[in-house]
Structure 1
Amino acid sequence: MKLKTIFSKFIIMLMALSLFSSFGNTRVHADAYKVVTLGGDLTEQQKDDMLKYFGVTRQDVNVIEVNIDEERKYLGNVATSEQIGTKSISSSYVEPTSSGGLNVTTNNIYWVSSSMIKNALITAGIKNANVKVSAPFNVSGTAALTGILKGFESSSSGNKIDEDKKEAANDELMTTGNLGDKIGKDKAAGLINDIKTQVVKEKPKTEEGVRQIVENVTNNYNLNLSTGDIDKITSLMTKINGLNLNFGDIKGQLSSVADQLKGNLSSQQTQGFFTKIINAIQEFFSNLF
């Protein structure tokens, strides 16, 4: 009788361990550290292709979808209907890290640059992460940030991001992109980053104080922007100023973006210089013959 009782307890213990193990496995998958967000309008084949591009399987990561209604929620007030589009295509890979800063890459994204996304993520309060943005074919990438932020919130280390920060980050992305159409992506990203640095550092008390910073930094870039452009940047920076971002916390991030953009611009200028020399040499010899 005693042996039967011991055997029964043993069986119960095995069942309990099995049940605990089952819950443990489910929890690990549900709280996956890495997240992939997929455009809700992609075909199943395109979704599989995106996972392959990111180098993961559905068992490796949390996979969530982003629909067009979510994109309109954050872009509706800062982007035109043409810029938003009618389908959710952009996808992203989000891996929060404990150090290393923000590493952002893009693929098949022609309007939004990695620097623009990085700038917006700083505004949203993201400090360290590896982020990849892609699509199965060329898209503008205006909705990429919506998916990325949703990915952060869905990761095991993610916290809810304030709605005000989400709106400001999306506004920053669109404002920089529209400005980039006029003066170039890198120069636009650099300008917005420099203005944001001054605004967060000085914390002006009035919108007029914000506008003064916008005009001063713009003049340093020797840019002749329209009153409408200045108004839009001032509106964005007033919104960012209201977030009460801590300059000490993001100083290093802002400096990192500025250094990267200066390097890009310097490289472009050098490349342009040598291109002019080569073209001049080719023209010289073609005139000889």
Structure 2
Amino acid sequence: MKWQRGKPATFQKGRKKRMLKRLGWIWFIAMIALGFTMNGVAKASGDNSTVIDEKYGKPIVATGAALSASQKAEVEKELGVDDANNVEEITVTGDDLVHYIPDGNRNSNMYSSAKITRTDSGGIQVNIVTPENITEVTADMYKNALLTAGIKNAEVEVASPLKVTGHSALVGIYKAYDNSDKSGDKLNSDRTEVASQELSVATDLAKKEGLSNDQVTQLLTEIKQEIANQHPATKEDIEKIVDDKLKDLNINLSDSDRQLLYDLFDQMRKLNINFGSVKSELSSLSDKLSDKINKAAGDKDFWQSVKDFFQNIFDAIRGLFQ
């Protein structure tokens, strides 16, 4: 019998056969894995081109006129614009600002920008992709104002390369709808004006001591819900709804701030805005805000209890040395 390295040749042949068989399986599995990978790559590369909704057209990107070329490129990147051919671009100027917000400053620098994708359903979804640079207007404030303006279904993304309040993004959204070729997309100018006023009132109230952005937005949302439920016929009816909601939510405002709310919602009453058509959106927004406020209050109470616990320990130790 022939031997190799102290082992029979038959043993070596069997070992070689087993190794070849094992390598065959490894090769087979590798080919399958490679096939899946290439398939995924092919699909991914195919997904790079945005599918354009032929009913609504391309998403609209409204950029502030004050942006430099590099800032505009930065904003478009934040808004997910990989190919300018897949979106419709418009520029928002100071003239647009005073058109939609009559008491605005025509010489204002417009930085905050927005991407608007119209949809058939799903309500209004707002995502601030640069939250560190939008200092006053929250996603829920935008949503509330857009509901007042008459927009029902849309995906909205907001971005800015600099720290700004965020008001010009709202102007860009309005202009995007008014520039649409579809007549049904045109917004009522009276509604956009009062919606812009609502946003200004919201950001002003949110600066008051003891009031958070969420509390202000919850207040405005629940007042709209009551308007939908009660159909107020007079300014006195509006004032009662506002006063009742302030009491329910335990919010204290000065007489001048109450008057801001009276005037704002009386304008909405005069415009006969049908908030009943967006009841589910208002209800969903109100529930979300309520949960956020309750969670924030719970977190605040927890950390206050921790602070009190250690303060009591320090006081007790201090007392031992007195």
Determine if the TM-score, normalized by the shorter chain, exceeds 0.5.
yes
Q: Distance in 2 between matches of 1:277 and 1:28?
A: 53
State the TM-score, normalizing by the size of structure 1.
0.82
2:235 aligns with 207
Paired positions, count: 258
Q: CA deviation at 1:283?
A: 4.1
Q: Distance in 2 between matches of 1:154 and 1:95?
A: 14
Q: Distance in 2 between matches of 1:76 and 1:248?
A: 28
1:179 aligns with 205
Superimposed CA distance per residue, residues 4-44 of structure 1 (whole angstroms, 9 cap, x where no aligned partner): xxxxxxxxxxxxxxxxxxxxxxx999x74301100001001
Secondary structure in structure 1 of the residue aligned to 2:308: helix
1:198 aligns with 226
Q: Distance in 2 between matches of 1:154 and 1:113?
A: 25
Q: Which of 116, 119, 142 does residue 141 from structure 2 map onto?
A: 116
Superimposed CA distance per residue, residues 129-165 of structure 1 (whole angstroms, 9 cap, x where no aligned partner): 1111110021111222111122233456661101011
1:33 aligns with 58
Q: CA deviation at 1:200?
A: 3.1
Pair member with larger Rg: 2
2:216 aligns with 188
Q: CA deviation at 1:268?
A: 1.0
Contact 1:32 1:156 in 2 (8 A): no
1:131 aligns with 156
Structure 1: which amino acid aligns with 2:199? L
Contact 2:64 2:168 in 1 (8 A): no
Larger RCO, structure (CA 8 Å, separation 6 or more): 1
Which structure 1 segments of 5+ residues have no match?
1-26
Q: Distance in 2 between matches of 1:272 and 1:279?
A: 10
> Cα–Cα, structure 1 residues 85 and 269, in superposed 2: closer, same or farther, change >3 Å?
farther
Q: Distance in 2 between matches of 1:28 and 1:223?
A: 44
Q: CA deviation at 1:278?
A: 3.3
Secondary structure in structure 2 of the residue aligned to 1:127: coil
1:225 aligns with 253
State the TM-score, normalizing by the size of structure 2.
0.74
2:123 aligns with 101
Q: Distance in 1 between matches of 2:61 and 2:278?
A: 26
Secondary structure in structure 2 of the residue aligned to 1:59: helix
Superimposed CA distance per residue, residues 254-275 of structure 1 (whole angstroms, 9 cap, x where no aligned partner): 1011011112112211221222
Contact 1:90 1:133 in 2 (8 A): yes
> Cα–Cα, structure 1 residues 185 and 28, in superposed 2: closer, same or farther, change >3 Å?
closer
Structure 2: which amino acid aligns with 1:46? Q
Using the aligned pairs only, state the percent identity: 32
Structure 2: which amino acid aligns with 1:255? S
| 1:89 has 2:114 as partner | no
Superimposed CA distance per residue, residues 68-127 of structure 1 (whole angstroms, 9 cap, x where no aligned partner): 1211333343x6x5xx87201110011111111111122220111111110001111111
Q: CA RMSD in A?
A: 2.4
Contact 1:200 1:244 in 2 (8 A): no
Secondary structure in structure 1 of the residue aligned to 2:250: coil
More off after superposition, 224-233 vs 269-278: 269-278
Which structure 2 segments of 5+ residues have no match?
1-51
| 1:60 has 2:86 as partner | yes
Contact 2:178 2:187 in 1 (8 A): yes
2:277 aligns with 249
